[in-house]
Structures are given as C-alpha cells and as structure tokens.
Structure 1
Amino acid sequence: MASLGLTLLSPSETFALLGLVVLAILWYLKISGRPSLNLPPGPPPLPLIGNLHLINIKRQDKSFMKLSEKYGPVFTVHLGFQKAVVLAGYKAVKEALLSNADEFVDRPPVPIFYRIQQGKGVFFSSGELWRTTRRFTMSSLRDLGMGKKLMEGRMLEELHYLIELVKSFKGQPFKLRSFNTAPTNITFTLLFGDRFDYADSTFVTLLRLIDEVMILLGSPYLHLFNFYPFLGFFLKPHKMILRKVEEVRVILRKHIQATKETINANYLRSYTDALLFRQQEETNNAASTFHDENILASVLDLVMAGTETTATTLQWSVLLMMKYPEIQRKVQEEIKTVLEQGHLPTLDDKKRLPFSNAVIHEVQRFVTLLPHVPRSTAVDTHFHGYFIPKGMTVIPSLTSVLLDKTQWETPDQFNPNHFLDADGNFVMKEAFLPFSTGRRNCLGESLAKMELFLFFVDLFQRFSFHPPPGSTESDLDTVAVPGFTMRPRAQTTCAVPYE
C-alpha cells in the first residue's frame, strides 16, 4: 500500500480520518446552501468528490477538452470541494490571457506549490511581490545575454560537450534522458555563472532530484493532496517532494552563501549575483522583496522549471525523429544543403531551414508539454457573460489550444506541415502557445527557442538516431507519462554518424 502513495493507518489514525471526512461532509453541506453565483455552467457536482468521477486524474487536460464539447469553452468544474473555471480552446484562452490579462494574472495557492514556496519566488507568487520579482528577473536575464548573441555563443560551447557525450556511446544504446545535460547546464550557467562537468557530483545530484520531483508531481496521490489538503497526513508523495526539494535547497543555500562572500559589484556573472547585489542595495529598505527567503525561492523556481521544459522537449525531438525516420531524413537533407559539413548552426540559419524549424515547432505542439498552469482572478471579473469572483482558480488549458481542431488541420497527428505554407516557407501560427501567453508567459521562452533550434540542428547534422537493436519504429512509445510536464517514457536511442 505504501508503494502506491498511502501509508498504512493505525486505529487512531483511521478514527482521525473518519472525523475529517465527517467535517468535510458538514462543510460541503454548509457551502451547498449558499446562493449560487453566476458562474459558467458545468457538470453538476456529487457530494465530496465534485466532478472527479468525470476526470482522468492523470490526464486532466484531456478530460477538460471532453467536457468542453458539452459545456463550451468556459465552464466550471468541482475538483473535490474546490471550484475552478476552465478555459478551453484558442479563442477563450487568448481572450482571457491577452485581452483580459490584468484580471487573470494571479496564481492560486495550489497546496503542493504553496508548501514548497510559501507564496514566494517568481512563478507561484502573486501581487506586488510577483510583479517586482518578475520584472527584476526578466531584466537580469536579458543583461546576462538571454536572447542575445552572447548566449548563442555559450550554447554552441555547451553543444560541443553534448556532441562528445553522444559520440562516447559509439553507436550503442543510451538513455534519452542523457539529452537533459546540455539544456540543464545552460540554465545553470545563467543561475550560477559557470557550467558543470557532466560527471560533477553536484550536477548529477541536482539532475536526479529534479527528475524525481517532476515525476512525483504527476502522482495521482499528489493530485489527491491538492484536492483534499486536509488528508495530507495520510498521503506520501507531497512529503517525498518536500524532502527532495529541501535537498535542492541545501545545495542552493551553500552556493548563495559562497556567492555572498565573493560577489563583485562591477562584474555580475549570474542571476544569483544580481539578486544578492540588489539585496545589498536595499539593505535599509524594510519593505524590500529581496530578502533571503525570496532570493532562495526565485533561484529554486528557475532551477526546477527552467531546466525541465527544454530538456524534456529535446528528448521528445529525438524520440519523434526515430518514430518518423522519413521526417528525420528530410531534416538532415535540408541541413546538409544549407550548412557546410561541420559548420555550427547559428540563429541566422533559421530562415534558411524552414522544414527543420517547422519540425521543432511541431514537436512542441504535438507533445503539449505543459498542459496547464493554473491562474486565479486578481479582481472580480466578468467574462463571456459570467461572473468570476476574485481569487477563483482559473485553468487555461494549453493542451486544448495546441490540439484545437479549429486551428490545426490534423491536431492529433505529428505533422510539420502545420507550420509550412504551400511553398514550403515557415509560417508561425497564432495558436502556437506552448509557453503560454500574456503577462505570465514563460520567462525563458526566448532562451528555450534558441536552445532547441541550435541543439536540434547540430545533433541531426552530425547523427542519425535509430531505435535500439531488436526494436523498430513501431515499438517506440510516444504516449506521454504525466509529471509536472508530459514526459516521454524511459527509452533508449542509438546515434550513428550521419554521412
């Protein structure tokens, strides 16, 4: 039982659990008698479970899409005792996050993320603390070269180490997870000022902890904790996550302390440097948001989320090229035509590689990497004729945007033609929102786009990727494993030099 995320209960614990259930029933009966707000329509809730009987807890995004077929693009669901408004489809999500950006800008206190960050940091904070921290983070990352030629040079340097790693396997099978190293190191360079050797014990530990946390975030029992936090005493995954996150914090605290002792105000090499320098500048400001707790939370946010998305997308890129070898060959032929052999790609090559660029975008669309990150209303809001009160959880479904039948010709198929016109020119689609949009869009969007293009092009310029011996393309599994992101299942690949 414990392996499933539950602890065995003693008689006293069982009695306590029953007491909690009784209290929950009384609470439900109390709120059910309140006058109904003019919320969007939705399926009628059952006692205690709300609409959970209609939702695949592992793939809530797909369940929301199904419910939207009956209740429309804006509807209400009951997740246990909690109400949430779901936005489904490109038009509703765009209208909310762009046209009504100020109304849908806050984050709800999702129990696991609140336990981790206590409302601090750059991703799960709200209000003035979020605005100040985000502005500072965006400014600092730009100063450090994010989206500029300086960062392109660092990526090409890191690419050298990734290529050597792939070569070291000498055509033998190796794990797709091996591709996490390079994107993770790019993020660490921004955060800490230096890259790690792939064999460095701290680097290996951080990679392991990030991986374990991201997997646990997809546990059904973790979702159960988020729906019924008062049952947390009896559940395990959130406790395991908190322990592993604390291990990451221990490493980060040591680094932050070491940086405090060596910081050079005339040469800020990293995001941590910039945070600590700003803290020194505001030493006498009692209202400053740059206190130790928020500094640690902000670095932790970028370590966890900033390393996961690009690294996982790169894994998907290799897996899908193995799955569709004819598309891989077409990518390689285009690269061979445009780039001289051994010539490192640059961002200037993007316009000359429309098919490769289309494939990279289609990978992100097809895998729907980040199904949704919840928002909450910052003020009382009227939307689509409904009233959504301040503080209401709102779920903008990015999966429903990236698979919207009104926006994509073949939404459920891997089809790079979604991003090509009749003449083979690359065309960006408005409904391409893997990084979300509006005021809460991904901080590292420009960084991720640079990494994916440079790493993808050079990898396929140098190698052909194939299933391991004894396997064929049909054996490859492209069904995602839900975690914090939609991850590919643990699989291996073989890389042979491309001639």
Structure 2
Amino acid sequence: MLPNVVTGWERIEFRSMTIGFVILCVSFLMFLKKKKGKLPPGPKPLPLLGNLHQLDTKDLVKSLKELNNKYGPVFTIYLGPRPNVILYGYQAVREALVEQAEDFSGRGEFPAFHNFTQGNGIAFSNGEKWKLLRRFALVTLRNFGMGKRSVEERIQEEAQFMLEEFRNTKQKPFDPTFFLSRAVSNVICSIVFGNRLEYEDKRFLSLLHLINDNFQVVSSGWGTLYNTFPGIMNHLPGPHHRIFKNLVKLKQFVLENVTDHEKTFQPDCPRDFIDCFLIKIQKEKGNPTSSFNMETLVMTSLNLFFGGTETVSTTLRYGILILIKYPDITEKVHQEIDKVIGRNRCPTVEDRSKMPYTDAVIHEIQRFTSIISLNLPHAVIRDTQFRSYYLPKGTNVLPVITSVHNDTEKFKDPQTFNPENFLDENNRFKNNEAFMPFSTGKRICLGEGLARMEIFIFLTTFLQNLTFKPTVPPDEIDLTPSISGVGNVPPIYQLRVIPR
C-alpha cells in the first residue's frame, strides 16, 4: 500500500508542478505581450521593410495625411523594424506633449544625428543629462544681457548690416538664401562664440552652406532612408553621407573656437556661452559623473549654432516669398510700420504689441510654412498608457506639427495664407493654442524667445526700409515646399529690393 500511496502523491505533485508550469508560461507570455504593448492601429508592415513601401519619402507629410484619413489621429507606422507612433492633429499632439508632458519627454531615435552626437548636446540627449544641459542653457541664454550689449541690440545691429547688403544688390535679382543666413547666424555666433563674422569671410559662407545642405538632405528621401536603415545605408553610396562629412567640418569649427576660448579664458569675466560652460566644467571638475565636459560643450554649442542659424533664416526666406506673392498684405504691414515706428528709428521688441497686423502676419507665416513639419522624434520615457493604447518605454513618437497648423477645427481654411487666423473681430491680435512652430511641452525649442525676437526685428527692419519685388508675376509664385520631410524647405527663388 505504501508504494501506491507514495506514487499517488507523486502523481499529484507532478500534476501540480505541470499546472504551475503552464500558469507560469501563460503569465510569461502575457508579460511579453504586455511589454510589446498595445500600439495604435496602422498599415500592416512587411518584414524588415516595415511600411516604407507605403510612404512617399519625398513628401512624408502627404503620406501621413493619407494614413490619418484611414486610421485616425493616432496610428503606428514601421520605419524598418521600428514602430513609430504618429500623432496627427492638435488634440492628439496636445494630449501627449502637454497633458502627458513628462511621459513623452524623451528624445526618440534619429540616427542621422544621433550616430554623430552619441547622445551629447541638448537636442539629442536624454535623462538627467538632458535636464541639466537644458536648464543650464536656458538660464545662460535668458541672462544674456551679460556683457556690454543686450541680445536685442545685437539683432538690431545685424539687421542694419543686412540692409546694407540688400542695398548693394543695386535692385538686381538675387537669391536671398545666404544673405539671410549670414545675418541670422551672426546673432547666435555672437552669443555662443562671442563675436560676429564678416559677411565676406569665405569660411563663414562655407559653414552656412554645410548647415543648409544638411537641413535639405535630412529632410529629403535620403534622410528618411538613412533614419530607417542606418546600418545598411552606411554601406551604400548616396548624398546621405554628406550629413556626417558636413557635421565633422562644423564640429571642427566649434572645437577651434573652444580651444581659442581656453587660451584667453577668465572665469570672473565670461564673454559668451562657451565661457559660461567652461566655468561650469571647472566647478564640476571633481565629479566623475558630471554631464559638463568638453564633449557636451562642443555638441551643445554645435546644436545652438545649427539650430539658431537654419530654422530662423529658413522662416525669413519663406516669409519673404509669401510677402512678394501677396503685395496687398505686404502693403498693410508697410502702413502699420510707418504708423507705429516711422522711418527714423530701429524697430524694437516693444513695438510688437502695438502692431497687431504685423504680428498676425508673422504668426501666419510660421503656421503656414511649418518649417519643422514633423518635429524631431520624441520617445516615451516609461511604459505609458495613452488613450486606449499601451506604449512601452522607448517607443518612438512623431508629432506632426504641420497637421496641428492645418487643423480645420483650429484654423479656417488652413491651406490658404490668411493673417486673420490671428486677429479677432476688432482686428486685435488673437493668439491660438494650436500655434506650435517651436513644438510644445518639455521639448519645446529653448531658443523660442530669441527666434521670435529675430523674426520680428529682421522682418520689420527690412520692410521699414525696402520693398520686395518678385522676378515673376505674383500669381505665378508657387509656395509648395521643394522638400517636405522632417523640415519644409522653401522653393529656390530670386527677388529684387527697392529702397522705400
């Protein structure tokens, strides 16, 4: 009897172990399923390729609009094997980046730049490093009345230099691209490096060509392909290789500036952003885990140089094209400038509050053009519940800024350029919560205040003194971007300037 009894207990124990093992397996599979997440719906991806075959890499915004029509404001596309959650329209973007700001505060994968920066600098860092660098940069830029002149004075001075360059064209047709980028870049150069560069400086012009080229390549289909298949694209020929060659040259320029600063550095008398960063490095010298070191200094300075040059100059270039297409709108701006500022003094930031129509036109330029059309990718920093979906930590999220600016619930006839989007019934300036050219939430552009100041002072100074004239009839001007990807690149054009 005893052996049978023992055998019976063994059978019971074995069955219990089997049931326990099955429960453990099911639990583990449920855990894996949970970790995979419940991503939003989207087109079925192909192995390895993802949804790339369903996207127009030359016009990603158009492709995403078509997918939004089918799948709604929150959907998933696969770029290669990696899922990307797309946020389309004002409501979805606001819910994520504002209402769940902390959850969506990570920087997503963007190999075209991350493979170069290696997570250093402000734009492509994450975690505590990003928070510390961003806080430091915000405080430093905010306090940058340090030294002898305020930021506003620097912009006013540069606007006058630019006016002289425009006048020197003698009313002949010219492409404004590098006229504008030299002026805008000199503002950020004076803040970061402590000095402006002469417009005739060939190296300066070469650097601006590198920045402009990178913005175009990254926004093109080649940039999309690289960000999707970086490992493969590293071994294939194409213009995407210029991204890294250009960045190496830009980094060398920054390194030389940092080296020069170290030779003349005086901790008790900081001249610019680099000096302030060097002071911070000295203070944290004994901290082996400090985020303040030479590599983060170089990459942060490069971030500011690149970002502070291309986006504002591209906005101005696109804005001037719009103004020459709509001379009636431009004439109203001329009239308001003459009424509020006159012809005998420089425009100031304080003038903006007294110029509702001009302010509305500038806002409408930024809305209509959506220079950073897709935003840089965000990532959720932890497992996140969003609406009825579950996004695992690290999931890439792409907020489509163009879709916010084209939201029909927030803007009347958004495909048309109309300053009345920012005017009330009494023609007073009216803000709109769906205005997000600098993004929104935790990752909002830290140079927003500087950029707004530059766009207003540059444009009003130009229009105070000059009349922009097209080289073709205004109704033949096409405002369609020449490239539409991460950024909207304006078409190439020429214009003439006539003194007022």
Cα deviation, 1:260-287, whole Å, max 9, x if unaligned, reads 1111212212111111111112122111
- 1: CA distance between counterparts of 2:171 and 2:456? 24
Rg larger for: 2
Question: Aligned with 1:240: secondary structure?
Answer: helix
Residue number in structure 2 paired with 1:331: 333
Letter in 1 for 2:50: G
1:405 corresponds to which of 383, 408, 412: 408
Alpha-carbon RMSD across the aligned residues, in angstroms, is 1.7
* Unaligned runs of at least 5 residues, structure 2: 1-31
- 2: CA distance between counterparts of 1:43 and 1:145? 51
Residue number in structure 1 paired with 2:51: 51
CA contact (8 A) 2:223 2:240 kept: yes
Shift of residue 485, structure 1, vs aligned partner: 2.5
Letter in 1 for 2:81: F
Residue number in structure 2 paired with 1:247: 249
- 2: CA distance between counterparts of 1:413 and 1:54? 28
Mapped pair 1:460 → 2:463: yes
Distance 1:136 1:161, change over 3 A: same
- 2: CA distance between counterparts of 1:347 and 1:101? 30
Q: How does 1:360-371 map to 2 (within 5 A)?
A: 360-371=362-373
Shift of residue 142, structure 1, vs aligned partner: 1.1
CA contact (8 A) 2:376 2:486 kept: no
Residue number in structure 2 paired with 1:381: 384
Mapped pair 1:182 → 2:171: no
Residue number in structure 2 paired with 1:445: 448
- 1: CA distance between counterparts of 2:292 and 2:476? 51
Question: Aligned with 2:37: secondary structure?
Answer: coil
Cα deviation, 1:243-266, whole Å, max 9, x if unaligned, reads 111111111111101101111212
Question: Aligned with 1:465: secondary structure?
Answer: strand
- 2: CA distance between counterparts of 1:404 and 1:263? 50
CA contact (8 A) 1:215 1:484 kept: no
Residue number in structure 2 paired with 1:143: 143
Shift of residue 383, structure 1, vs aligned partner: 0.4
CA contact (8 A) 1:209 1:244 kept: yes
Compute the TM-score of the two structures, normalised by the length of structure 2.
0.89
Cα deviation, 1:364-389, whole Å, max 9, x if unaligned, reads 00011101211011000000111000
Question: Aligned with 1:314: secondary structure?
Answer: helix
Question: Aligned with 1:175: secondary structure?
Answer: coil
CA contact (8 A) 2:43 2:76 kept: yes
CA contact (8 A) 2:90 2:434 kept: yes
- 2: CA distance between counterparts of 1:65 and 1:145? 43
Mapped pair 1:291 → 2:312: no
Cα deviation, 1:311-336, whole Å, max 9, x if unaligned, reads 11111111111011111111111111
Question: Aligned with 1:400: secondary structure?
Answer: helix
Mapped pair 1:480 → 2:481: yes
Compute the TM-score of the two structures, normalised by the length of structure 1.
0.90
Shift of residue 149, structure 1, vs aligned partner: 8.6
Shift of residue 37, structure 1, vs aligned partner: 3.1
Mapped pair 1:260 → 2:262: yes
- 2: CA distance between counterparts of 1:149 and 1:281? 27
Cα deviation, 1:345-371, whole Å, max 9, x if unaligned, reads 111111221111100000000011101
Mapped pair 1:93 → 2:93: yes
CA contact (8 A) 2:184 2:308 kept: no
Shift of residue 223, structure 1, vs aligned partner: 1.4
Mapped pair 1:311 → 2:313: yes
Residue number in structure 1 paired with 2:63: 63
Question: Aligned with 1:426: secondary structure?
Answer: coil
CA contact (8 A) 2:109 2:377 kept: no
Higher deviation after alignment, 356-365 or 246-255:
246-255
* Unaligned runs of at least 5 residues, structure 1: 1-33
Distance 1:190 1:250, change over 3 A: same
Shift of residue 484, structure 1, vs aligned partner: 5.1
- 2: CA distance between counterparts of 1:98 and 1:145? 30
CA contact (8 A) 2:57 2:221 kept: yes
- 2: CA distance between counterparts of 1:112 and 1:45? 23
Letter in 1 for 2:392: P
Residue number in structure 1 paired with 2:210: 209
- 2: CA distance between counterparts of 1:223 and 1:395? 13
Letter in 2 for 1:376: A
Residue number in structure 2 paired with 1:229: 230
CA contact (8 A) 1:213 1:241 kept: yes
Shift of residue 398, structure 1, vs aligned partner: 0.6
- 2: CA distance between counterparts of 1:428 and 1:264? 44
2:348 corresponds to which of 346, 349, 354: 346
- 2: CA distance between counterparts of 1:235 and 1:438? 38
1:273 corresponds to which of 272, 275, 292: 275
Letter in 1 for 2:83: K
- 2: CA distance between counterparts of 1:243 and 1:187? 22
Letter in 1 for 2:162: L
- 2: CA distance between counterparts of 1:39 and 1:374? 17
Shift of residue 140, structure 1, vs aligned partner: 1.0
Question: Aligned with 2:468: secondary structure?
Answer: strand
Residue number in structure 1 paired with 2:24: none
Residue number in structure 2 paired with 1:436: 439
Distance 1:281 1:490, change over 3 A: same
- 2: CA distance between counterparts of 1:94 and 1:219? 27
CA contact (8 A) 1:366 1:412 kept: yes
Residue number in structure 2 paired with 1:425: 428
Residue number in structure 2 paired with 1:12: none
Mapped pair 1:109 → 2:109: yes
